[in-house]
Amino acid sequence: MIDTATNQTSRSNVSNVLRQAGLRPTRQRVSLAELLFSKGDRHISAELLHEEAVGADVPVSLATVYNTLHQFTEAGLLREVAIDGTKTYFDTNVSDHHHFFIEGENRVVDIPGDGVGIGEVPEAPEGMEIVRVDVIVRVRQKS
């Protein structure tokens, strides 16, 4: 993984991490990885990452950003957090944890520590296995 604790995102480090994940370190992948992982753990949409890339003079299309985020997710570098059918965020923290979704701000934040207890999980259908359990707690400011 990229060391987000010390922001170790040098080009050579990023290239090595991508290679170890089975991805070719193209210029666009390296640039997007540097943007993604240079700010520590966070949740980001493809549109926001695209805006950051444009602001950093990284020539990349929104489609390439989407493809790269999905490639990073498949390689285990990111975790996809689907809020509903229309909004997906990508989490740089791939450990097992759960999330709050702050309505009105369209923001995702980690639920700290062991803030959620999962009781019984149903058995997976025959021939299937449970990969993980995601809990998203929707919150909003009190009226």
CATH number for the domain harbouring residue 19: 1.10.10.10
Q: Does residue 80 belong to any structural domain of this protein? A: yes
The answer on pLDDT for 49 being more than 60 is yes
Residue-level pLDDT at 10:
63
Rounded average pLDDT over 63-85: 94
Confidence (pTM): 0.82
Question: Are the C-beta atoms of residues 52 and 70 closer than 8 Å to each other?
Answer: no
Nearest to 5 by CA among 54, 49, 41: 41
Q: Does residue 38 belong to any structural domain of this protein? A: yes
Q: Does residue 97 belong to any structural domain of this protein? A: no
The answer on pLDDT for 120 being more than 70 is yes
Residue-level pLDDT at 70:
97
Q: Could you give the CA distance from residue 124 to residue 120 in angstroms, rounded to a whole number? A: 12
Q: Does residue 24 belong to any structural domain of this protein? A: yes
Q: Does residue 143 belong to any structural domain of this protein? A: no
Q: Does residue 118 belong to any structural domain of this protein? A: no
Range of the domain at 49: 11-84
Q: Does residue 96 belong to any structural domain of this protein? A: no
Average pLDDT, the chain: 89
The answer on pLDDT for 9 being more than 80 is no
H or E, element range at 140:
none
Question: Are the C-beta atoms of residues 134 and 101 closer than 8 Å to each other?
Answer: no
What's the structural domain count of the chain? 1
Residue-level pLDDT at 115:
73
Residue-level pLDDT at 48:
96
Q: Does residue 74 belong to any structural domain of this protein? A: yes
Q: Could you give the CA distance from residue 80 to residue 104 in angstroms, rounded to a whole number? A: 21
